[in-house]
């Protein structure tokens, strides 16, 4: 019998890198496949160009005639790039992106055809939406969903297709995607932040949220991937013993990138650059065969589109290079998982980063205002932050000594901690004397522009201030960043609106502007104190200390998702105009459902692999041992045969015990799964899967992994961690 695994090993060893020919400067190709502002200026009449720019920057409506002109220009440009089809590119709640391709080619008479793309086709389409998750919003009999153009994100060409970024909504107007609520949250924070900016600079008209993501992923050779049903079906290995050499030597981080992986990266980076994604850094991560890609930050909506595009490019390019990319948060138990840090800040149309300390007391007061308001927003809504990063995959990572814990807290560094403490004690309740004010101003003026303790950054914090932005580290590698960005920008908008009200009220009562701001900041600093944590977030002591502080520790996805059912959360989203109660409820339902499906698939695959892959291999080896033992008895006789086969008999027994236990746990899991499947209510079903089905995973795996190290390497049917992680 040929062993698929050994065949795969052979294939991998003989693979050569797939060289990418390229002789241009990277800067020459940057954005060449994007219909960006400069191209538009070239292709569009003046008036249409101006309308397009104001639609892109401030959401102004475009009339039909202009839309026709834009569509026609877009098409002409796309044809020069070799495009034959167009598609509305959108972000359904499945987590991936979706597209439905239509040809430009339109027959217009006998033997005559033109390439057609007009305003109507650009602005709206009606993809068959019945197969996308909708959480009950759209009954299948009214399976209509619309995709509508988002002019704030430029169209691009991939392969032979012009892709138009769009939102995706139900016939009844509710969002069925991530982009629409993200755009609304960005709008809310823009207005609220621009309002607060008026205290400091009347010229600010618009505030953009910025996002810089860092995407981690694993590469595995396609031959290994194809011989592991668990990787194929669930994106992670459900079985597999840790390899003798793991990441304990820490020799992979920033290590040299092996040639095949380098060629792969070169290829997908060139493609990304052509699509205007400003990828710059490339390095190895902590685990073997784990990598990271982090572009320059951009405006949040665009950055998020770029992340989704990049995830897609990673997949496609990996296949070309005989790799498969794993975006799962924890593909290999016992090996570092993958996250996607979301670096977030706010930046004005006057070019100021509102979370960067400035040169003087005035700009620093502005910085402090936004900084402290962020802390207060995080403090008040930490459960929402926890919920927005929840998912079956991320559950394996959070709190596993490599990723931040499920407890949300914020790290700000010693200098800022001291300053906040000073404001807390030094700002006087009544009228402040001129000396008090000068003293405070001096302190505020002293915040260094480049934060010194940038270097003593705390890597264990889920939400850390890193000098000129906050870094949300708990986001999972497979997530759509919009989930986190919707929450952060919405709670920030809400907080800033409240802040503006309270400061205005103080000014009305006779406080000077600066005094009013400082006094209000003092209130916020006091009220948000418990969210600040500078210590080790990975330690067990923190779990206890956090509980004492009253911080929640929602350890699993079903518990975390319950937050979306909270009345206050519903009101907040509704008031900020980001999600209606119906939309929020639908999203919660979809997430419970997705959690259940993922666990259901894992449970099934586990059962099947145990039964059809592992047990047969074990039996085969048992037979070899039995034949050997019988042979020894035959040849040597009872007494000597017994002595000579001691080790084999012992091994045979151990193998049988593990196999039986594995099988028993599989049976128990099956019973639990059947019971859970009968539960109608999605939330209860998710809880049942978490508490009664998932608990068998570790047990089953434990015995299977023991078998892996006990039986003959030649008959073990699944590629081992050592092979998948170390052979390239």
| Residues at the interface with ligand ADP (CB under 6 A) | 210-212, 214, 294, 296-297, 341, 343-345, 353, 466, 468-469
Task: Find where tokens 């920057």 sit.
Answer: 57
Task: List the structure tokens of 555.
Answer: 């350890």
Please, which residue, 277 or 686, has the CB nearer to ligand ADP?
Answer: 277
Instruction: Work out what residue 296 binds among ligand ADP, Mg ion, none; the CB cut-off runs from 5 to 8 Å by kind.
Output: ligand ADP
> To the nearest whole angstrom, how small is the minimum distance from the Cβ of residue 464 to Mg ion?
9
Kindly tell me which of 241 and 341 has the beta carbon lying closer to ligand ADP.
341
Shortest Å, Cβ 468 to ligand ADP: 6
By CB under 5 A, what part of segment 192-221 binds Mg ion? 214
Task: Give the side-chain half-sphere CA count within 13 A for 9.
Answer: 17
Position closest to Mg ion via CB: 341
State the binding partner of 689 from ligand ADP, Mg ion, none, CB within 5 to 8 A by kind.
Answer: none
Residue 313, token pair as written in the block: 């490019």
Minimum Å gap between C-beta 254 and ligand ADP is 11
Cβ closest to ligand ADP, residue 89 vs residue 297: 297
Give CA–CA dist 314/327, Å, rounded.
9
* Dist. CA 444–CA 525, nearest whole Å: 15
User: Whole-number minimum distance, CB 341 to ligand ADP, in Å?
Assistant: 5
Choose the stretch contacting Mg ion; rule: CB under 5 A; options: 187-195, 338-346, 668-676, 713-721: 338-346
Query: If DSSP codes are grouped into helix, strand and coil, which group holds residue 353?
Result: strand
- Report the residue number, 213 or 371, with the smaller CB distance to Mg ion: 213
Task: Measure the CA–CA gap between 482 and 389, rounded to whole angstroms.
Answer: 10
- Rounded alpha-carbon distances, angstroms, from residue 252 to 283, 381, 425: 10, 37, 47
Q: How far is the CB of 298 from ligand ADP (least distance, A)?
A: 8
Closer residue to ligand ADP in complex, CB, 149/291: 291
Stretch that binds Mg ion, among 146-154, 187-195, 301-309, 334-342 (CB under 5 A): 334-342
Cβ nearer to ligand ADP, comparing 170 with 378: 378
| Least gap, CB of 84 to ligand ADP (angstroms) | 35
Length of the chain: 728
- Identity of the residue, 220 or 300, whose beta carbon is nearer to ligand ADP in the bound complex: 300
What does 345 bind: ligand ADP, Mg ion, none (CB cut-off 5 to 8 Å by kind)? ligand ADP
Q: Provide the pairing of β-strand 85-90 with 161-170.
A: parallel
* Residue 287 burial (CB count, 10 A): 22
**CA separation for the pair 465, 454 (Å, rounded):** 9
294 touches which of ligand ADP, Mg ion, none (CB within 5 to 8 A by kind)?
A: ligand ADP
For ligand ADP, which residue has the nearest CB? 212
As a whole number of angstroms, the distance between CA 340 and CA 581 comes to 29
Residue 237 interacting entry, from Mg ion, ligand ADP, none, C-beta within 5 to 8 Å by type? none
CB 411 within 8 A of CB 533: yes
The site partner of 417 among ligand ADP, Mg ion, none (C-beta below 5 to 8 Å per kind) is none
242 DSSP 8-state letter: P
| # residues contacting Mg ion (CB under 5 A) | 2
User: Distances in Å between the alpha carbon of 242 and those of 210, 355, 563?
Assistant: 39, 42, 36
CB of 293 to Mg ion, least distance (A): 12
Q: Which does 176 bind (CB under 5 to 8 A by kind): ligand ADP, Mg ion, none?
A: none
- Nearer Cβ to Mg ion (230/471): 471
CB of 344 to ligand ADP, least distance (A): 6
Q: How far is it, in rounded angstroms, from Cα 448 to Cα 414?
A: 13
In the bound state with Mg ion, the residue whose beta carbon lies nearer, of 346 and 464, is 464
Quick one: tokens of 178? 């991530």
The one segment of 36-44, 45-53, 189-197, 333-341 that binds Mg ion by CB under 5 A:
333-341
> Cβ of residue 496: shortest distance to Mg ion, in angstroms?
25
Q: How far is the CB of 401 from Mg ion (least distance, A)?
A: 18
Minimum distance between the CB of residue 297 and ligand ADP, rounded to whole angstroms?
Answer: 3
Q: Between residues 211 and 420, which has the closer beta carbon with respect to ligand ADP?
A: 211
> Least distance to ligand ADP from the beta carbon of 264, Å?
21
CB of 356 to ligand ADP, least distance (A): 7
Helix (H) or strand (E) holding 260: helix 259-274
CB of 284 to ligand ADP, least distance (A): 12
The Cα 187–Cα 95 span in angstroms is 23
| Binding partner of residue 297 among ligand ADP, Mg ion, none, CB cut-off 5 to 8 Å per kind | ligand ADP
Strands (DSSP E) contained in 176-326 are: 207-221, 279-284, 290-295, 298-299, 323-326
361-380 vs 513-527: helix axis angle to the nearest 10?
A: 30
Which residue, 214 or 269, has its beta carbon nearer to Mg ion?
214
Identify what 580 binds: ligand ADP, Mg ion, none; CB under 5 to 8 Å per kind.
none
CA-wise closest residue to 58 among 186, 223, 199, 198: 186
Closest alpha carbon to 238 in 694, 723, 709, 619: 694
**Residue written as token pair 């209510």:** 681
The helix or strand, by DSSP H or E, that contains position 346, with its residue range, turns out to be strand 340-348
* CA 728 remoteness from chain centre: 27
Nearest residue (CB) to ligand ADP, 397 versus 728? 397
For residue 341, state whether it binds Mg ion (rule: CB under 5 A).
yes
- The residue among 411 and 716 lying less far from ligand ADP, judged by its C-beta, is 411
Q: Which residue matches tokens 């003989």? A: 14
Q: Using CA atoms, how far apart are residues 365 and 514, in angstroms rounded to an integer?
A: 8
Binding part of the chain for Mg ion, among 339-347, 405-413, 502-510, 706-714 by CB under 5 A, reads 339-347
Q: For residue 45, what are the CA distances in angstroms to 52, 78, 151?
A: 10, 17, 17
Task: Give Dmax over CA atoms of the chain in angstroms.
Answer: 106
The residue among 307 and 511 lying less far from ligand ADP, judged by its C-beta, is 307
Residue 51 contact, options Mg ion, ligand ADP, none, Cβ 5-8 Å cut-off depending on partner type: none
Distance CA 661, CA 640 (A): 32
Cβ–Cβ under 8 Å, residues 357 and 251: no
**Can you tell me which residue has the tokens 């430029």?**
154
Binding site for Mg ion (CB under 5 A): 214, 341
């Amino acid at each position: 019998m040929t062993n698929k695994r050994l065949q795969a090993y052979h294939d991998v060893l003989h693979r050569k890198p797939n060289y990418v020919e390229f002789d241009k400067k990277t800067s020459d190709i940057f954005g060449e496949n994007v219909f960006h502002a400069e191209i538009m200026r070239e292709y569009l009449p003046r008036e249409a160009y101006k309308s397009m720019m104001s639609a892109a920057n401030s959401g102004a409506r475009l009339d039909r005639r202009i839309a026709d002109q834009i569509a026609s220009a877009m098409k002409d440009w796309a044809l020069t790039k070799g495009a034959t089809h167009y598609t509305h590119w959108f972000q359904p709640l499945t987590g991936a992106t979706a597209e439905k391709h239509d040809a430009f080619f339109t027959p217009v008479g006998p033997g005559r055809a033109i390439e057609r793309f007009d305003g109507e086709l650009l602005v709206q389409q009606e993809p068959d939406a019945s197969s996308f998750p909708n959480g009950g919003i759209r009954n299948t009999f009214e399976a209509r969903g619309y995709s509508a153009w988002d002019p704030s994100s430029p169209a691009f060409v991939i392969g032979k297709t012009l892709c138009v970024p769009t939102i995706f909504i139900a016939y009844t107007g509710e969002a069925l995607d991530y982009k629409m609520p993200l755009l609304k949250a960005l709008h809310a924070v823009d207005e609220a932040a621009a309002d607060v900016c008026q205290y400091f600079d009347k010229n600010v008209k618009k505030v953009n949220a910025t996002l810089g993501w860092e995407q981690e992923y694993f590469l595995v050779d396609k031959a290994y991937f194809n011989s592991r049903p668990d990787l194929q079906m669930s994106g992670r290995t459900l079985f597999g013993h840790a390899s003798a050499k793991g990441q304990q030597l820490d020799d992979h981080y920033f290590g040299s990138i092996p040639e095949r992986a380098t060629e792969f990266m070169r290829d997908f980076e060139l493609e990304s650059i052509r699509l205007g994604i400003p990828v710059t850094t490339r390095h190895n991560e902590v685990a073997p065969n784990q990598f990271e890609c982090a572009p320059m930050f951009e405006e949040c909506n665009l950055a998020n589109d770029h992340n989704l595009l990049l995830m897609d490019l990673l997949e496609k390019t990996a296949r070309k290079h005989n790799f498969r990319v794993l975006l799962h948060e924890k593909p290999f138990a016992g090996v570092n998982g993958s996250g996607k840090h979301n670096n977030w800040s706010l930046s004005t149309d006057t070019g100021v980063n509102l979370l960067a300390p400035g040169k003087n007391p005035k700009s620093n007061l502005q910085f402090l205002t936004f900084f402290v308001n962020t802390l207060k927003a995080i403090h008040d809504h930490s459960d929402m932050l926890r919920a927005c990063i929840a998912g079956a995959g991320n559950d394996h990572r959070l709190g596993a000594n490599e990723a931040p814990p499920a407890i949300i807290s914020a790290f700000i560094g010693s200098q800022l901690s001291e300053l906040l403490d000073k404001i807390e004690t030094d700002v006087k309740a009544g009228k402040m004397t001129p000396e008090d004010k000068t003293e405070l101003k001096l302190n505020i003026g002293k915040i260094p522009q480049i934060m010194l303790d940038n270097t003593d950054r705390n890597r264990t914090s889920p939400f850390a201030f890193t000098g000129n932005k906050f870094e949300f580290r708990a986001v999972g590698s497979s997530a759509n960043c919009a989930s986190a960005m919707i929450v952060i920008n919405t709670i920030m908008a809400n907080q800033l609106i409240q802040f503006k009200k309270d400061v205005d009220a103080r000014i009305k009562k006779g406080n000077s502007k600066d005094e009013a701001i400082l006094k209000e900041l003092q209130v916020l600093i006091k009220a948000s104190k418990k969210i600040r944590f500078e210590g080790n977030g990975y330690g067990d002591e923190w779990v206890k200390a956090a509980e004492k502080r009253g911080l929640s520790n929602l350890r699993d996805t079903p518990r975390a998702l319950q937050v979306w059912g909270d009345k206050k959360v519903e009101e907040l989203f509704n008031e900020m105009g980001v999600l209606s109660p119906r939309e929020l409820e639908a999203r919660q339902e979809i997430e419970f459902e997705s959690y259940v499906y993922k666990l259901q698939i894992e449970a099934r695959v586990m059962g099947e692999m145990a039964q059809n892959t592992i047990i047969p291999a074990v039996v085969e080896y048992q037979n070899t041992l039995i034949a050997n033992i019988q042979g020894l008895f035959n040849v040597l006789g009872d007494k000597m045969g017994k002595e000579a086969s001691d080790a084999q008999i012992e091994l045979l027994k151990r193998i049988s015990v593990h196999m039986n236990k594995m099988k028993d746990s599989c049976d128990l899991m099956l019973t639990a799964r059947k019971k859970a499947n009968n539960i109608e209510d999605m939330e209860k079903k998710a809880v049942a899967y978490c508490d009664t089905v998932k608990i068998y995973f570790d047990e089953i795996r434990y015995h299977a992994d023991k078998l892996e190290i006990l039986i003959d390497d030649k008959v073990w049917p699944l590629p081992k961690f050592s092979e998948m992680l170390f052979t390239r």
